[in-house]
Amino acid sequence: MSFVRRRSVHRRSFLVTTVGLVGALSVARRAQASELAATRSQPEASLGQRGAPSLNLKTIGPMHEVVSIRSSNNGYRLTMASGATVSLSEFNLHFKTDSSERGPVKGRPVLLRTGMQGDRATIIFSDPSEIGPAISM
């Protein structure tokens, strides 16, 4: 009697393991297929680091181009080239540089929204020396 039970436990373990592996492989294939589709649907984007598509920040448009950055109590108020103003907390705003050929034009930083809910953002400058003078109190 114990022999039959042991055999059924092995069979169940084998089935659970097999189903788990098949599920993991299908998720990995779907992720790979969606990455491939994303790179094909954006012909203007080239592949950057680690094969991720990178935007051409020189031609991104006035909705993303930052004209002024004002520091307030615990955040920043940004004025865009389109005339819009954006307020972000200092914890959710990141400053980065991109001096590559696809980076922003010198003296014209670019704002990119990040985060799952769009509550975070990154301002990308073409040179590190631009960051300090761009922020006014």
Averaged pLDDT, 121-135: 90
pLDDT digits 0-9 by tens, 60-118: 888 999 999 999 888 999 999 999 998 999 899 999 999 988 899 999 999 998 877 87
Do 122 and 89 share a structural domain? Answer: yes
pLDDT: which is higher, 73 or 16: 73
Give how many domains the chain has, as a whole number. 2
Do 76 and 42 share a structural domain? Answer: no
Burial class (CB in 10 A: 0-12, 13-18, 19+), 112: middle
User: What tokens appear for 86 in the block?
Assistant: 């954006």
Answer yes or no: is 16 within a domain: yes
Do 74 and 17 share a structural domain? Answer: no
Do 73 and 24 share a structural domain? Answer: no
- Strand boundaries in the chain, DSSP class E: 46-47, 53-54, 66-71, 75-80, 85-89, 93-97, 110-114, 120-125, 135-136
pLDDT digits 0-9 by tens, 18-64: 767 666 666 556 655 555 554 444 334 444 555 455 688 888 888 99
Do 123 and 79 share a structural domain? Answer: yes
Do 39 and 103 share a structural domain? Answer: no
Does 128 have pLDDT greater than 60? yes
pLDDT of residue 9: 57
pLDDT of residue 30: 61
Q: b/e map of 9-40 (b: 16 or more CB within 10 Å)? A: eeeeeeeeeeeeeeeeeeeeeeeeeeeeeeee
Answer yes or no: is 51 within a domain: no
* Domain boundaries, position 100: 56-136
pLDDT of residue 41: 40
pLDDT of residue 45: 46
pLDDT of residue 35: 54
Do 17 and 74 share a structural domain? Answer: no
Do 30 and 65 share a structural domain? Answer: no
